[in-house]
Structure 1
Amino acid sequence: MARADTAAIAGGVPGVVLMEAAGRAVARAAMRRFRPVRTLVLAGPGNNGGDGWVAARLLEQAGWPVVVAPLALPRPGGDAALAAARWRGPVVPFSAAEAARAGLVVDAVFGAGLSKPVDGLAADVLGAVRCPLVAVDVPSGVDGATGEVIGFAPNAALTVTFFRRKPGHLLYPGRALCGETVLADIGLPASVLPAIGPRAWRNGPWLWRILRPGAASHKYARGHVAVAAGKGMTGAARLVATGARRAGAGLLSVAAPDAATAAVLRAGDPGVIVAEDRAALLADVRIGTWVIGPGLPPDEGTRALLRETVSAGRQVVADAGALRAAAGDPAALAGCAVLTPHAGEFSAVFGPPGADRPGAVRAAAAATGAVLVLKGADTLIAAPDGRLAINDNAPPWLATGGTGDVLAGIVAGLLAQGMPPFEAAAAAVHVHGEAARRAGPGMLAEDLGSVIAHAIATYWLD
C-alpha cells in the first residue's frame, strides 16, 4: 500500500487527498453499520493515524459524539499532522479507561506495514476495548504481509482497507481478526500497479481460465491420468480418480501393486481402468500425468517410483506418501509439476514454515522447481517464479479425511487437459472449495464427486 501511495503521489495525486478519501471511507463504513454512539478514535503517529483523525472529523460533522486519543502526535509537516490540525473536537488520554467506556472504537494506531510488536501501552489500551471495533487498513498488530500477529492485535468487527486487499486480510490468524472486510476506492489509479509489480493475488478465476469442452472434443483429447495405488489403501486412489475424472480428464488408469489390490479396485467405479503392470502404464506416452503418493508408504519404493516417473518426462502431482518419503530431502521432489502438502508434510520436507508462510512456500517452490500448494484453511499456491495465490473460499467442513486426495486428482485432471501447473493448481484449489460449499456441512470426501463438475462448469469460458 505504501508503494502505491508513493507512486500515486509521484504521479500528481496529493497525499492529503488520499488521506481524506481513506478517512471518509472509514467514516462512511462505520455510519452504515453502527448507530451513533460515543466513539473513540485511537490514533497512531503515522498515516494510519492520519486516516483516523479524518474519520473522527467526518463522524463528528455527521452528529456523532467523537473523541480522539492519540498514542503520539504526528510528525510536524506531514499529511497526518495536517489531518490532526483540522480536528476541533475533544482529545482524551490514550488509556485503557477511555477504551473501556467507549461505545465504538476506531483502531487507527498502526497499519499493515507494522515492523515491531504491539505491546506495552498500545496493547493494554487495545486489549481494554469492550465494544465493536473498526480497524483502519488492518487491526493494529496484524502483519499485512503474512497475517501473523506481532505482539497483540484486537478482534475487529469491521476492517476498512484501501485499493487492494493485503495478504494479511486473507491469511490466518489475521483473517479471523479482521471481521467484515470492506475494500474502499480512495482514488489510487490502477496505473500504479505495473510499477509495483504485484506477485501475490487472491485466488479466483481472474488468475486462470477453464475452457468449456469443444463440440469436437473426445476422451483422448482431454488427457489421460494415472494414479499409483498402494496396498490396503485403495480408498485414496479411488478418491484421486474421482477428482481427476470429475475435473474433466478423459481417461483414468489406476496402477495396482498386486492382483489382490487390483481386484478390489475393479469392484469400484466401472469407468476406471485398473492395471497391474505399472511399467507398461509408465511406458505409455499417452498417459502424461501421474498422481503419486496417496495411499503409498513413505519408503524407498515410493521414492523410486517418483524418480522413475519424473525421469520418463511425465507430469507428476506428488502428495501424501511421496512427500513423506522425501522428508528432509526436498531435492527428491525436483521435477514434479505440483506438490500438495498439508502443514505437517511441508514441515517434514522443508522444515516448519514459521511466521512468514508466503515466503516459505515461495522458497520451497523455487527450491524444487514445482508449484507448491500448502493446504489449509487459507491454502497458499506458489510458483517457482515467485507468483503466489491465496485461497479464501474453503468452508470449514472441507477439513475431513480424503479431501486432499480429491484435490490431488482435480489438479491432475486439469493438468492433463493442458493447463499450466500454477493455473491448474490454483483453479483446482478454488474449485475444491466451491464444491465443498455446494456439498454443504457434514459432507464427506466421497460427496465431492457429485458436485465438482457443477463447480467447474460455473467457471467455464468459451
Structure 2
Amino acid sequence: MSDRPLGRVNAPGPALLTGEQMAVADRMTIAAGTKGEVLMENAGAAVAALIQERWNSMTTLVLCGPGNNGGDGFVVARRLQDAGWPVTVMSACDVKALRGDAAIHAERWQGVVEPLAPQVPEGVGLIVDGLFGAGLSRPLAGVTKDVVAAVNRSSASVVAIDIPSGVSGDSGEVLGTSAIEADVTVTFFRAKPGHYLLPGRQLVGDLVVSDIGIDAAILSGIGPECWLNGPDAWISCFPWRRPDSHKYHHGHLVIGAGDTMTGAACLAARAAQRAGAGLVTLAGARSVFPMLALAGPSTLLASVENAEDWANLLADQRINCILLGPGLGVGADTREKVLACMAQDGTRGMVLDADALTSFQDKADLLFQSIPGKTVMTPHAGEFARLFPDASKAPNGGKLKRARDAAQRAGAVIVLKGYDTVVAAPDGRAIINANAPPWLATAGSGDVLAGFIAALMAQGMPAFEAAAAAVWLHGEAAGLFGPGLIAEDLPDVLPEVLQHLAPYHSAV
C-alpha cells in the first residue's frame, strides 16, 4: 500500500461558494469598511506572490478581461514588473472602458497595454489568465476564443485567476467549446463548486485558495449550501465506539441477496462490518446460503423466499437499516422486495443501490411515492439516467444541479457517483467529493460504498452525513491502497483510514 497521508480539505474551510455568493461576500466586506480596490490589490498580490514562489523570473504575458478579473490581472502585472519580471499586458477591451476598481488598477499599470491577439508572443514562459472569473455565464467567442486556443497550444505555464476562463464556477462545465487549461489556479476566500466538478476539476491544475481579507464570519450571512467533502463536514456525528457499547448499540443491518450475483451482497456485507455495523444479516434464498457464507462467519444468514418471509424478518425492531440492490437482480421481483421493505417501517434507514434502482426504470414515480424519510439512493450515471431521464438531458446546470433536483424530486439523499461524486439532500444541501482516485473504477466498488453508507446509517448517522462520510472513506481507502486496487481490498484498508481519522474525533 502507498504511504499516503490522510487527505485534508485544500481550503480554509469546506464551504463552497457560487459566483453570486462570492460577490455577496465582496459586497459585505466593502460595506464593513474595506475598499474594493484593497480587495483587488490583495487578490492580485496573492497571485503574484504564488508565481514568485513557484517560478524564477521569466517573460510573462498577463491577459486581462473587461471586469474585476482583469483588474486582478493588472495588479499581478504591476507586482511582477516591480519585482523585475519582464511583463506584457493584453486587454480584451480599451482600458478607458473599464469601470470601478478595475479602472483604478489599470491606471496604476505603467506599461503598455496591447489588444488581445490570437497568438502567444515568442519567448513567453508564463501566462496569467485574468480574462474571466467564476461569474462567467456565456461561452467564449470571437478573439477571446482564439486567444484561449493559442494559450492551450503554447508551451508556457499558465496561472488562472479565480478559475480558468471558459469554466463555470457554479457547475464546472465548459461554457461552449473552449476553456483555459491551467497549471495553477488561485482563487480567493473560498473555492467554488466548479473547481471540483468535472470537467473544471481537470482544468484548474493545482488549486490554491488565498486569504484576501474577507472575514470568515461573513459565511453565516451568506448561508452556503454546498461543501467540499471531508471530516469537517460530518465528524461531529460520526459513530465512534464507547466503552459501554455493545453490538446492538451499533445497529443491525439487513442486506438483500439475489440468486446469482451473490458476490455483490457479500462485498457489501464485509464493507458494512468494517464500517462498524453491530450486526449484518444477508437475507436470501436458502439455496444460495453456501455462496453467502463466503461473506465470513460473523455475517448472519436469513432465509427469505417470499414477501411473507421478509415481513417476518423485519418484525425484529432491532433491525434499523436495510440495503437493497447489490446483485439483487433486475425486474418485478426486486421491485416488490423494495416496496415491501419500505412499507414495513418508515423509521428504518434504507439504502437503494444498483438493481434496486434499475428495476424502477419507467416506474420511478412509484418508487418516489413510497420512499420513507431516511433513504439514500446511490446511482452511477447510467442508473441516474434511467430514474431521472429528464434531468439527465437538461442542457444547463451540471452535475450538482442534477443531483439536487433529483434529491428534491425523490425525497431521498442522492449519491451521484463518479470521480466527482455529489451527495445531495432534498433540502438543497450538497457535498462534492474530491479524494477519489481513478482506480476506484473497478467492479464491486459501488457495492462496498453501499455497505459503508448502510453501516453508518445503522449506527445512527443521519442519511446525508452518512452518505458523505462513506463516500470520503471510500475514496480515502482507495487512495491509501494505491493502483492495483480491487473492490475486495477496500473493506480491509478501512481500519487504517479510521485510525488516521481518530484525531479529528478527539478535536471535536
> Where in structure 2 are there 5+ consecutive unaligned residues?
1-21
**CA displacement at 1:41 relative to structure 2:** 0.5
**Count of aligned residue pairs for this structure pair:** 461
**CA displacement at 1:297 relative to structure 2:** 1.9
Structure 1 residues 267, 383: closer, same or farther in 2, change over 3 A? closer
> Structure 1 CA distance, aligned partners of 2:270 and 2:226?
31
Write the letter of the residue equivalent to 2:495: A
* C-alpha contact (below 8 Å) 2:239/2:456 kept by paired residues: no
Matched, 1:224 2:275: no
More relative contact order, 1 or 2 (CA 8 Å, 6+ apart)? 2
Shifted more, 398-407 versus 356-365: the winner is 356-365
Aligned to 1:357: 399
Q: 1:443 aligns with which of 463, 469, 485?
A: 485
**CA displacement at 1:329 relative to structure 2:** 3.5
Write the letter of the residue equivalent to 1:368: A
Aligned to 2:217: 191
Write the letter of the residue equivalent to 2:430: L
Structure 1 residues 318, 86: closer, same or farther in 2, change over 3 A? same
**CA displacement at 1:262 relative to structure 2:** 1.6
Aligned to 1:316: 350
Aligned to 2:161: 136
Cα shift readout 1:236-258 (whole Å, capped 9, x = no counterpart): 000110111000001000001x2
**CA displacement at 1:327 relative to structure 2:** 1.5
Structure 1 residues 27, 323: closer, same or farther in 2, change over 3 A? same
Aligned to 1:369: 411
* C-alpha contact (below 8 Å) 1:73/1:81 kept by paired residues: no
> Structure 2 CA distance, aligned partners of 1:94 and 1:226?
63
Matched, 1:327 2:361: yes
CA RMSD in angstroms, aligned pairs only: 1.4
**CA displacement at 1:101 relative to structure 2:** 4.7
> Structure 1 CA distance, aligned partners of 2:313 and 2:71?
65
**CA displacement at 1:212 relative to structure 2:** 2.3
Shifted more, 310-319 versus 199-208: the winner is 310-319
Cα shift readout 1:271-296 (whole Å, capped 9, x = no counterpart): 11111134232221111101101102
Aligned to 1:275: 302
Give 1:244-393 correspondences, 5 Å limit: 244-256=272-284, 258-277=285-304, 278-279=309-310, 280-313=312-345, 314-331=348-365, 332-333=367-368, 334-335=371-372, 337-351=375-389, 352=392, 354=394, 355=396, 356-393=398-435
**CA displacement at 1:119 relative to structure 2:** 2.1
> Structure 1 CA distance, aligned partners of 2:449 and 2:203?
28
> Structure 1 CA distance, aligned partners of 2:363 and 2:272?
28
**CA displacement at 1:93 relative to structure 2:** 2.8
> Structure 1 CA distance, aligned partners of 2:274 and 2:32?
49
Shifted more, 322-331 versus 42-51: the winner is 322-331
* C-alpha contact (below 8 Å) 2:239/2:460 kept by paired residues: no
> Structure 2 CA distance, aligned partners of 1:282 and 1:368?
24
Aligned to 2:174: 149
> Structure 2 CA distance, aligned partners of 1:122 and 1:140?
10
TM-score by length of 1: 0.97
Helix, strand or coil at the partner of 2:319 = coil
* C-alpha contact (below 8 Å) 1:353/1:360 kept by paired residues: no
Helix, strand or coil at the partner of 2:24 = helix
Structure 1 residues 150, 99: closer, same or farther in 2, change over 3 A? farther
Matched, 1:72 2:104: no
Q: 2:271 aligns with which of 243, 262, 268?
A: 243
* C-alpha contact (below 8 Å) 1:42/1:52 kept by paired residues: yes
> Structure 2 CA distance, aligned partners of 1:29 and 1:36?
12
* C-alpha contact (below 8 Å) 1:435/1:452 kept by paired residues: yes
Helix, strand or coil at the partner of 1:301 = helix
Q: 2:112 aligns with which of 90, 106, 113?
A: 90
**CA displacement at 1:76 relative to structure 2:** 4.5
* C-alpha contact (below 8 Å) 2:184/2:207 kept by paired residues: yes
Helix, strand or coil at the partner of 1:289 = strand
Helix, strand or coil at the partner of 2:129 = strand
* C-alpha contact (below 8 Å) 2:60/2:128 kept by paired residues: yes
Structure 1 residues 172, 76: closer, same or farther in 2, change over 3 A? closer
> Structure 2 CA distance, aligned partners of 1:398 and 1:80?
45
**CA displacement at 1:127 relative to structure 2:** 1.2
Structure 1 residues 221, 99: closer, same or farther in 2, change over 3 A? farther
Structure 1 residues 267, 404: closer, same or farther in 2, change over 3 A? closer
Identity in percent: 49
* C-alpha contact (below 8 Å) 2:158/2:184 kept by paired residues: yes
> Structure 1 CA distance, aligned partners of 2:393 and 2:163?
23
Cα shift readout 1:60-114 (whole Å, capped 9, x = no counterpart): 0000000110001354541000000000012223112345652211000000010
Write the letter of the residue equivalent to 1:323: L
Structure 1 residues 67, 252: closer, same or farther in 2, change over 3 A? same
